[in-house]
Structure 1
Amino acid sequence: MEVNYAVGAAAQPPSTVSSTSGTLGGHLARRLVQIGVNDVFSVPGDFNLTLLDHLIAEPSLNLIGCCNELNAGYAADGYARAKGVGACVVTFTVGGLSVLNAIAGAYSEGLPVICIVGGPNSNDYGTNRILHHTIGLPDFTQELQCFRTVTCFQAVVNNLEDAHEQIDTAISTALKESKPVYISISCNLPAIPHPTFSREPVPFFLPPISSNPLGLEAAVDETAKLLNKAVKPVIVAGCKLRVAKAQKAFLEFANASGYPIAIMPSAKGLVPEHHPNFIGTYWGAVSTNFVGEIVESADAYIFVGPIFNDYSSVGYSLLIKKEKLVNVQPNRVTVGNGPSLGWVFMADFLSALAKKLKKNSTALENYQRIFVPSGVPLKYEKDEPLRVNILFKHIQEMLSGDTAVIAETGDSWFNCQKLRLPENCGYEFQMQYGSIGWSVGATLGYAQAAKDKRVIACIGDGSFQVSYNACPLFVNALTGYKLYLDLNI
């Protein structure tokens, strides 16, 4: 994933992208291009039509129309997974409340999605007027109140004086927090020239965050003490590796340690499965064969970015003991029953810890000693009903570094967990929120962002019907180089 903004370096000269000059709409279009958004998913409505005209006028921006707001939000989610940031544009309240479910899912997954809503005319604020597309009250804040719980920043732009500041703050907050933001823009403002938009916007500069040196040192010392005295320690990767942008540091730590690497189910695709120390998915009683035994029999385990919810813990049944656990979160490390140290960032911590560990391959050798390769599915006979194991044998053979798998909620979660991902093969699913139908729109967004990938979408028939009928562009977008597989067999 690549986002085109300056981080911890001198800001570059203003970009040369062109658009309708001197207007709020032109400024927003240029900002989206600057951060790496080249495709915006939208549903036109009377409150956002003028804004959409300005987005269309931006040569580097492609407006993709969707048939409803939920799918536009799902597509922005999928786009953000591949590109690092996504955006969608809908209309006031009737559109905003429709896209809300998709934005909540993006929030749960730590994805920066810029949700832009065409809002009421700025002259209607404070007039006690009742507007269409609302529930019939003169209060325009219903939509805003709903978005407050599923976004990390909300901007209501109903005047031009501070529009520049509000838009820039919202976008930069999304990038810093890796969460969705909400921007409401009054429908009469996008085309009005204003001096604050008269020049090309200066690119974003996001200062790098660094750990508290004393806290980092203490966390590393305590963790190294626990792990270095262990006989058979293991590593388990969690889904917050993505949010913490710590995948490179994770591999540095894994290579230095020699420990076996397991993943929680929600972290599939975040750790290279071709790594020689990779052993599979730790999911309690339904783990990959022999992985549960290795993890739960370890005398120390370091979980990097875990979420222990009822899904990932199989109903809170994991046989994990706190005194043996090092829990590494994006900005906090907790060592067993000992200290919990904040303002210690995951990438800093893993890189520093790698330098303090003794190499220990005991647990990996134990795994290799008990491991028995999976059996080969029986050959498919003519006219025999297709079995899931035969189907996934063929899907496995299709995977390469040029493919990506999108796994829908339900059976596809479990079946796709068994796939072994080749180097550079993408993998995405929505385990925390688990919204059925998510993968249809997300496939459209991911495919649009990752044009070099052949996307294999594994979707149950019920989930497909939830979103497909409202998103016929899905098939057109995927024709010729994408694959849909119905797994409800």
Structure 2
Amino acid sequence: MSDITLGRYLFERLHQLQVDTIFGLPGDFNLSLLDKVYEIPKMRWAGNANELNAAYAADGYSRIKGLACLVTTFGVGELSALNGVGGAYAEHVGLLHVVGVPSIASQAKQLLLHHTLGNGDFTVFHRMSNNISQTTAFLSDITTAPMEIDRCIREAYIYQRPVYIGLPANLVDLKISGNLLNQPIDLSLRPNEPEAQEEVIELIKKLLSTSHNPIILVDACASRHNCKSEVEQLVNKTGFPVFTTPMGKSTIDESHPRFGGVYVGTLSQPDVKEFVENSDLILSVGALLSDFNTGSFSYSYKTKNIVEFHSDYTKIKQATFPGVQMKETLQELLRVISVPKNYIPPPIPVIAQLDTTKFSPSSPLTQEYLWSKVSTWFEEGDIIVTETGTSAFGIIQSKFPNNTIGISQVLWGSIGFTVGATVGAAMAAQEIDPNKRVILFVGDGSLQLTVQEISTLCKWECNNTWLYVLNNDGYTIERLIHGMNATYNDIQPWNNLAILPLFNAKAYEAIRTSTVGELDQLFNNSSFKIPNKIRMIEVMLPTMDAPPNLIAQAKFSSEANES
């Protein structure tokens, strides 16, 4: 290839990794860079409503594709995105944050430019991002810039964390050799240290040889760091019961005969809690043990025989093995593992099913009915996005079909995240399979924080999207924690069914359901399942109705805030 601009090089590298939608907003320091998006066949500029939403969208896209790119302008743009970038860092999501910055000459002269703090410091925002980035680069030399771009992309992908690239406006159009693109970016993990890994494997084998009731507990990082296949193979080869955490939901096929349910400490189904906590060996894969993911840290294991597999270390009981990465370790374990001679696979807990016969068609909808019934409507391959609050807790009692991808932000918990994330997921799904369904569950209060991003869904005709708005008249999760009757937990009611026509959706459907019969009729309608339009479904629910696990979690949170 002949010489190309540095800006085009950046997007060609992303295109090589199937990152074909770029999220963000234009600003005068990134406009020349954005021109280069249109030079790449099949690449598109999403054009989001604001930078925060763009960061959320990039997060959702990355959870489907493994990497995403967000472009903002210097200062005002990049700071608006940082909440979303912080969430990606906390939850292990690979994201390239490219910031168009003033030219090198302007920086050298410390000009009093707009979007600065007026003190001549052009690196202050870069320093802010450094705390929520795996690595950063503030480009200044065209000869090293391509290598820095490659390094940042590699680290974002390998470590599944955001990286920051400051790209001066005057470098974007400078030429470099197009032949640099002929050498792919090396995305392979570095090998584990053989002796350390061997010691880990031997210790695990020793624990297995004396175990009578081992289990596998899977969390979010197993999915984030591409270990779902290894987990499935481990379950198949051993027959050990497998459980997930709330964040790990969708990491294992819930139809698998050895799937035992979701473990959330004291908030678990009683027989799940008893089964997990009475195990004598726990193989924990990809744990992110936050309060909402553990029932406020209420894990009560009876054993100290715990093996933790993480993306960058392994821990066995009290011994930590830095750098022994879980993917290679699990692959080696699968090669040598043998099931204990006296091990008899125990029957797993039976997941309780709601008796729907006690509801008449005229019964008002409840959280309990919704989360049970929606399981019958889900299809294999769905992408299911659940907002912090009643949705993230309610979805735990739903059953996912095989090959489902669940998206929630249980650790960072930024209200409104899912609207933007749904945009990113829907655009990623369009690139993979236009018939791949993306389903959002969001509260009426959360919706109001980021509703503008539905405009982006309409612009790109993401007709593979269902938007379930749970209208329970305000912030129910906050009411449960504190201020049940406080006006700060109220919201101004919106005409939610007018949102899609407001944003000029071309093909859409807007539906309100308030009874069991109306919801059943909707789910039984075969045409409602077809991804041929954007659908908004407003689900009317009682104000204080909430999943039981959320009510218990809210009590824990309230007590923790007061202690």
Q: TM-score, normalised by structure 1?
A: 0.90
- Deviation larger for 339-348 or 113-122: 339-348
Can you give the 5+ residue segments of structure 2 that lack an aligned partner in the other structure?
473-540, 542-563
Structure 1 residues 470 and 443, CA gap change in structure 2 (3 angstroms) = closer
In the TM superposition, what is the alpha-carbon distance from 1:195 to its structure 2 partner?
A: 4.2
The residue type equivalent to 1:454 in the other structure is R
Describe the SS at the equivalent of 1:463.
helix
Structure 1 residues 458 and 359, CA gap change in structure 2 (3 angstroms) = farther
Correspondence list, 1:105-254, <5 A: 105-192=87-174, 194-197=175-178, 200-254=181-235
The residue type equivalent to 2:467 in the other structure is Y
Within 1, Cα distance between the matches of 2:66 and 2:309?
23
Residue in structure 2 matched with residue 389 of structure 1 by the alignment: 368
The residue type equivalent to 2:380 in the other structure is G
Residue in structure 1 matched with residue 395 of structure 2 by the alignment: 416
Q: Note if contact 1:274-1:422 (Cα within 8 Å) is conserved in structure 2.
A: yes
Indicate which of 69, 92, 108 corresponds to 2:51. 69
In the TM superposition, what is the alpha-carbon distance from 1:321 to its structure 2 partner?
A: 4.8
Residue in structure 2 matched with residue 405 of structure 1 by the alignment: 384
Residue in structure 2 matched with residue 341 of structure 1 by the alignment: 321
Within 1, Cα distance between the matches of 2:341 and 2:376?
34
Correspondence list, 1:292-303, <5 A: 292-303=273-284
Q: Note if contact 1:239-1:306 (Cα within 8 Å) is conserved in structure 2.
A: yes
In the TM superposition, what is the alpha-carbon distance from 1:322 to its structure 2 partner?
A: 6.0
Describe the SS at the equivalent of 2:232.
helix
Q: Is 1:34 the counterpart of 2:13 in the alignment?
A: no
Within 2, Cα distance between the matches of 1:81 and 1:372?
28
Can you give the 5+ residue segments of structure 1 that lack an aligned partner in the other structure?
1-15
Within 2, Cα distance between the matches of 1:39 and 1:372?
40
Deviations along 1:211-264, one digit per CA (max 9) or x if unpaired, are 222222211121122222122111111212124322222222222222110011
Within 2, Cα distance between the matches of 1:377 and 1:274?
21
Describe the SS at the equivalent of 2:109.
coil
Within 2, Cα distance between the matches of 1:418 and 1:43?
38
Within 1, Cα distance between the matches of 2:344 and 2:80?
49
Within 2, Cα distance between the matches of 1:205 and 1:382?
58
In the TM superposition, what is the alpha-carbon distance from 1:311 to its structure 2 partner?
A: 2.2
Within 2, Cα distance between the matches of 1:186 and 1:238?
40
Q: Is 1:486 the counterpart of 2:469 in the alignment?
A: yes
Q: Is 1:463 the counterpart of 2:442 in the alignment?
A: no
Structure 1 residues 382 and 175, CA gap change in structure 2 (3 angstroms) = closer
Residue in structure 2 matched with residue 11 of structure 1 by the alignment: none
Indicate which of 260, 267, 288 corresponds to 1:286. 267
- Deviation larger for 107-116 or 319-328: 319-328
In the TM superposition, what is the alpha-carbon distance from 1:72 to its structure 2 partner?
A: 0.8
The residue type equivalent to 1:346 in the other structure is M
Within 1, Cα distance between the matches of 2:103 and 2:420?
30
Structure 1 residues 444 and 195, CA gap change in structure 2 (3 angstroms) = closer
Q: Is 1:313 the counterpart of 2:272 in the alignment?
A: no
In the TM superposition, what is the alpha-carbon distance from 1:69 to its structure 2 partner?
A: 0.4
Structure 1 residues 372 and 348, CA gap change in structure 2 (3 angstroms) = closer
Within 2, Cα distance between the matches of 1:30 and 1:123?
27
Residue in structure 2 matched with residue 13 of structure 1 by the alignment: none
CA RMSD of aligned residues (A): 2.2
Structure 1 residues 209 and 159, CA gap change in structure 2 (3 angstroms) = closer
Q: Note if contact 1:298-1:363 (Cα within 8 Å) is conserved in structure 2.
A: no
Within 2, Cα distance between the matches of 1:127 and 1:323?
61
Within 2, Cα distance between the matches of 1:480 and 1:399?
17
Question: Which structure has the higher relative contact order (CA within 8 Å, separation 6+)?
Answer: 1
Within 1, Cα distance between the matches of 2:183 and 2:446?
43
Q: Note if contact 1:322-1:336 (Cα within 8 Å) is conserved in structure 2.
A: no
Deviations along 1:436-487, one digit per CA (max 9) or x if unpaired, are 1111111111111112311110111111111113552234546543111112
The residue type equivalent to 1:473 in the other structure is T
Describe the SS at the equivalent of 1:235.
strand
Within 2, Cα distance between the matches of 1:200 and 1:425?
34
The residue type equivalent to 1:435 in the other structure is S
Q: Is 1:449 the counterpart of 2:432 in the alignment?
A: no
In the TM superposition, what is the alpha-carbon distance from 1:327 to its structure 2 partner?
A: 1.7
The residue type equivalent to 1:162 in the other structure is T
Q: Is 1:269 the counterpart of 2:285 in the alignment?
A: no
Deviations along 1:258-292, one digit per CA (max 9) or x if unpaired, are 21100111111111212110011110111135211
Describe the SS at the equivalent of 1:276.
coil
Q: Note if contact 1:154-1:182 (Cα within 8 Å) is conserved in structure 2.
A: yes
In the TM superposition, what is the alpha-carbon distance from 1:45 to its structure 2 partner?
A: 0.8
Structure 1 residues 134 and 274, CA gap change in structure 2 (3 angstroms) = same
Within 1, Cα distance between the matches of 2:38 and 2:418?
27
Describe the SS at the equivalent of 1:469.
helix
The residue type equivalent to 2:412 in the other structure is Y
Structure 1 residues 372 and 447, CA gap change in structure 2 (3 angstroms) = closer
Within 1, Cα distance between the matches of 2:184 and 2:91?
26
Residue in structure 1 matched with residue 310 of structure 2 by the alignment: 329
- Deviation larger for 71-80 or 241-250: 241-250
Q: Note if contact 1:66-1:471 (Cα within 8 Å) is conserved in structure 2.
A: no
Q: TM-score, normalised by structure 2?
A: 0.78
Deviations along 1:318-375, one digit per CA (max 9) or x if unpaired, are 10256222222223222224x332332212322333433325896852535xx37423
Describe the SS at the equivalent of 2:407.
strand
Deviations along 1:138-167, one digit per CA (max 9) or x if unpaired, are 101121011101111111123423222222
Within 2, Cα distance between the matches of 1:467 and 1:120?
29
The residue type equivalent to 2:376 in the other structure is E
Describe the SS at the equivalent of 1:327.
strand
Within 2, Cα distance between the matches of 1:243 and 1:88?
19
- Deviation larger for 216-225 or 476-485: 476-485
Residue in structure 1 matched with residue 489 of structure 2 by the alignment: none
Q: Is 1:474 the counterpart of 2:454 in the alignment?
A: no
Describe the SS at the equivalent of 1:365.
coil
Describe the SS at the equivalent of 2:138.
strand
Q: Is 1:350 the counterpart of 2:333 in the alignment?
A: no
- Deviation larger for 137-146 or 462-471: 462-471
The residue type equivalent to 2:291 in the other structure is D
Q: Note if contact 2:260-2:351 (Cα within 8 Å) is conserved in structure 1.
A: no
- Deviation larger for 390-399 or 216-225: 390-399
